[in-house]
A and B are shown apart, each in its own frame.
Chain A
């Protein structure tokens, strides 16, 4: 096993001519796809991996400089594809990983036949004429809690704050998994995510994008998927699912799995 494969706990399952890569969002790991994988292994080679910083990876490998921006994660993704000698894949990215996939496909559009973005958002903080879902005050509370946890952890006290302590339900929804990361990594990742603004790069994407989203996701308002659809320069399609929450592949698999399979199997014109 190569270094990259081992560090990211890469698993390749199933068989088929096409490759599907499943990328999880922050604070979770590849087990979020547990309900989807059995449906894919008969027809696809499925690649699963853990982002650096995920609980199942070695925290010593987390390079704070490399991962200060989402580009660092995109480089990881490309390294994995290279080590596995993948020539073209269907990329399924959940939450922030969808944007990581978008960044990767700008530098190497040849590696991606399409990108499925689930619960994705180019920017979480509200802006003039843009509704991302989060206000600065909400995020202030989040960073205060993460900072407090970090200080406690450094000084040998107990970092006890969790997502459920946040007042804003949107922040609760998004951050509950983040708080389970190591406090220094969690703080860094949270900063990276909320400082990132991917709206500019949308116009550089040339790979077809399937945008999937829960009708009620407190962390990603439905208008965001519409924004993505309008601003991606490649062809795209939006499907809003009747599921609830930011982790619909876990909370409502019976709704989400069929939709995911449909978009994996079929292209935009035939969906």
Chain B
């Protein structure tokens, strides 16, 4: 929550013209300070005077430690009030925490001394003989929430469950565990949970999604976990819904999960193929070849057993048929339901205007996401907008039957509440028509995602109409675009004036191996210069595949594509950039080439740069010339995990030299 201090001061001044900020009682000041979350603001506040410094330090609750591990002895000791500590971003990223120290125990104690009040911890746990958790966990026996991170492969020789056992052994009050970015085997988790039944019984929040691998949990594993953790309130898991696989999750498993954990307020089950990133063919009928073993009758029973449910995600990725009766039961059995996401649920609403049914009856929904509902029509959509009348967030993905007409009436009906919309890979909704359909909420919408699919006819029409369109409140814009397409039409597609837009995310996807050289020299980042307040960008080219070094004659290297994507970035005034490099799938290699380093070095306003890929030292050194750059890191947080041996990732020494150069006193960073 961001509290505007001048506003408070003004309010005080309004009450009586002689009231000074320091007349406010300390208790009230403390509350005001604790509401400020932006780090830069806090840093500025702490420079005002000693009293404010003390207040700021005593109200700073969360801290992400950056800096190089070799400098850990320089750890600041003034943040003793911190309760949420993130150690997973210490440089070099993903390095085994205690490897460079001869006395890890002393260092662990030092961490404890610096941060005595930590109850929530995020830490990167690499494979090594000196287990990170073995040293850290005893320092904070009162930990309540732990998130473990590991993108590197789990060593096959590591004993099963060793990391979790170290954690559970020392942190008996643990109630929340997140291993969604932790590369481990299902057995590691099962063993840990079974070995510590008292912790399992008091776990209220368990996140076992699998972002860091493509496997999921089997049915019996899920059942074992849920029966050991009956007090779970939040469960997120990746599993296999395809009935051809051993251990698939079907009716009976869902029923058992609901029986085991009746207190669930958040249930989030996702199929292993959900994040595969493979976009279905837009002309595809919308049905998968395999059905899930889930029938609407059992679904109804499942919902009946979860009366406290507030948030439900069932991204099944395999057909679930005729679901409207189940969704009606969802509404009656789960009165607290506010957020719903369904993948491949067909028949969610039959669209009969006079008899609202199915999902239309879920009137309490504030957030709805419909993925791949093949028989969803405009009628259904319009009925939904009448039924779910307080929706503030809506996502529609892969629904062939929806057109701009239906979408427009939908947004019109929800114009008082809708502020967050995502429209993606719907055949009849290209960029221009999506933006036109959102016209009723153009002045309200805060977050938007559209696919940059340019349809020549609609573009020509729009260009001719040339009326300016102002999107007054939009703060976050997310785009998807196919590799090789240009961003340039965006400026006249219907979203040209965004006075409040600060953050943009662009995802580029496609196989460049066989594509001809990009015809223009620039992807079109330059066209974003018209956005006055743009300060943060996420450019995700991780879905772009091509040749790093082995392009056959006549084919284009990834270095040329990199130049194509990043040209123009030097003209943007962004201060924070996350860049995911393209990849050479054959070599499992995602790295920066010369054009990227050169162009990023020209982006003079950058303060923070995070590259999700590898880069050689000399290319990173190009960035030392950026006048404002104070934080740059290579983060290999992608799957398949980076290889350990014979890889071109930045060596530990290279990282240290780069960070030393970046942080050296001869670089005078103006602010």
Contacts and interface: CB of A to CB of B under 8 A. Distances in A.
B648 A176 contact: no
Contacts of B622: 153
B345 to A, nearest CB: 44
Contacts of A165: 560
Interface in B617-637: 617-619, 621-622, 625
B647 interface: yes
A59 interface: yes
Interface residues of A, number: 47
Contacts of A31: 646-648
Interface string B11-25: 000000000000000
B643 to A, nearest CB: 7
B554 interface: yes
Contacts of A149: 594
A56 interface: yes
A162 B594 contact: yes
A246 B654 CA distance: 28
Contact of A55 (B557, B617, B643, B646): B617
Interface in B504-561: 517, 549-554, 556-557, 559-560
B594 A180 contact: yes
A9 B594 CA distance: 22
B549 A162 contact: no
A160 B651 contact: no
Contacts of B557: 162-164, 176
A37 B625 CA distance: 38
Interface string B604-626: 00000000000011110110010
A165 B645 CA distance: 32
Given A59-B618, A250-B587, A158 B553 contact: no
B113 interface: no
A33 B618 contact: no
Contacts of A27: 549
A250 B598 CA distance: 27
B454 interface: no
A256 to B, nearest CB: 12
A245 B647 CA distance: 21
B552 A160 contact: no
A54 to B, nearest CB: 8
A164 B556 contact: yes
A179 B594 contact: yes
B552 A182 contact: no
Contacts of A218: 553
B645 A11 contact: yes
A263 to B, nearest CB: 21
A179 B586 CA distance: 21
B619 A162 contact: no
A101 interface: no
B570 interface: yes
A251 interface: yes
B653 interface: yes
Given A158-B602, A176-B549, A177-B549, A56 B646 contact: no
A28 interface: yes
A247 interface: yes
B599 A160 contact: yes
B563 interface: yes
Interface string A203-223: 000000000000010100000
B51 interface: no
Interface string A184-201: 010000000000000000
B171 interface: no
B549 A28 contact: yes
A247 B587 CA distance: 12
A55 B553 contact: no
A169 B657 contact: no
A164 B617 contact: no
B554 A59 contact: no
B559 A159 contact: no
A98 interface: no
Contacts of B517: 164
Given A59-B618, A59-B621, A158-B601, A9 B651 contact: yes
B653 A58 contact: yes
A34 interface: yes
Nearest to B621: A59
Interface in B579-604: 586-587, 593-595, 598-599, 601-602
B646 A34 contact: yes
A11 B644 CA distance: 12
Contacts of A160: 563, 594-595, 598-599
Contact of A169 (B553, B595, B647): B553
Contacts of A5: none
A35 to B, nearest CB: 9
A55 B549 contact: no
Interface string B627-671: 000000000000000010111101101100100000000000000
Contacts of A182: 618-619, 621
B646 A58 contact: no
A29 B648 contact: yes
Contacts of B553: 169, 172-173, 216, 218, 244-245
A30 interface: yes
A27 B548 CA distance: 12
B560 A164 contact: yes
A181 interface: yes
B648 A55 contact: yes
Nearest to B555: A164
Contacts of A34: 587, 643, 645-647
B563 A251 contact: no
Interface string A147-164: 001001100111110111
B648 A56 contact: yes
Given A30-B646, A37-B646, A48-B646, A179 B559 contact: yes
A163 B550 CA distance: 12
Given A29-B648, A158-B601, A179-B594, A58 B552 contact: no
A94 B630 CA distance: 40
B559 A180 contact: yes
Interface in A27-70: 27-31, 33-34, 37, 48, 55-59
Nearest to B618: A182
A180 B647 CA distance: 16
A163 B560 CA distance: 9
Nearest to B615: A55
A56 B616 contact: yes
Given A37-B646, A56-B616, A160-B563, A247 B550 contact: yes
Nearest to B599: A158
A159 B598 contact: yes
Given A58-B657, A158-B598, A176-B559, A251 B552 contact: yes
Contacts of A30: 646
A222 to B, nearest CB: 15
Given A158-B602, A160-B598, A164-B560, A181 B648 contact: no
A242 B263 CA distance: 64
Nearest to A249: B550
A163 B646 CA distance: 25
Interface-centre pick from B551, B599, B646 (highest chain A CB count, 10 A): B646
Interface string A14-34: 000000000000011111011
Nearest to A163: B557
Contact of B651 (A56, A158, A244): A56
A179 B562 CA distance: 14
Contacts of B645: 11, 13, 34, 37
Nearest to B563: A160
Given A29-B648, A59-B618, A247 B559 contact: no
Given A48-B646, A162-B594, A165-B560, 10 more contacts: A55-B616, A57-B617, A59-B621, A153-B598, A160-B594, A162-B593, A169-B554, A173-B553, A176-B551, A180-B616
10 contacts: A59-B617, A59-B621, A153-B622, A158-B570, A158-B601, A160-B598, A162-B559, A176-B549, A182-B619, A251-B552
Task: Give the 5 A-B residue pairs with the shortest CB-CB distance, closest first.
Answer: A55-B616, A251-B550, A158-B598, A182-B618, A164-B560
